[in-house]
Amino acid sequence: MELPSSMSGLFFKIFLVFLLFLVTFLLSLFSTALATSSRISLSRLLEDRNKKVREKILEGKEELRIAVEVWRTIFLAAFLLSLLYYFPRLHLWTIWALLFSLALVFLASNFFLAFFTALIARQFSLC
């Protein structure tokens, strides 16, 4: 049973977009792991290694973090562009998603600011 060429093209497009998403997600996880680890914690982790090897690893950590950030940015741009290229109806969806997320951030920040202000005022009025 052979799929029509349009269906196989659709599966290829979805697979490509998913692959770009997966690579971007994994690079984001790796970038977060590199950003949260400090030189001191990495040095303690490598205590039992040779001093030259430890220094070489510590020197390469920052370069590796920058390289991962650059590749993550490239793959993120490729992912977003492939979404817009392969699924052209999404170009309006991205605008609405951006507006919705901005509204959500604005409302949530105002709500939390008012909530914490009221909480602090209540705490000090009880004292």
pLDDT in tens, 9-37: 788 888 998 999 999 999 988 888 888 87
The dihedral formed by the CA atoms of 56, 59, 64 and 70, expressed in degrees to the nearest 10: -150
Q: What is the pLDDT of residues 42-85, one digit of tens each?
A: 778 878 888 888 888 878 888 888 889 899 989 988 988 888 78
pTM higher than 0.85: no
Six token digits for residue 94:
């991205």
What's residue 2's pLDDT?
Answer: 55
How buried is 24 (Cβ within 10 angstroms: 0-12 exposed, 13-18 middle, 19+ buried)?
buried
User: Mean per-residue pLDDT for 109-114?
Assistant: 73
Determine the 3-state secondary structure of 38 from DSSP: coil
d(CA 97, CA 99) in angstroms, rounded, equals 5
Single-letter code of the amino acid located at 103: A
User: Nearest Cα to 86, choosing from 1, 12, 4, 23?
Assistant: 12
Q: What is the mean pLDDT of the chain?
A: 80
pLDDT of residue 125: 66
pLDDT band for position 4 (50/70/90)?
Answer: low
Residue 3 clears pLDDT 80, i.e. is over it: no
- Type and span of the H or E element at 58: helix 51-86
| Residue extents of the structural domains in the chain | 1-88, 90-127
Residue 88 has pLDDT above 80, yes or no: no
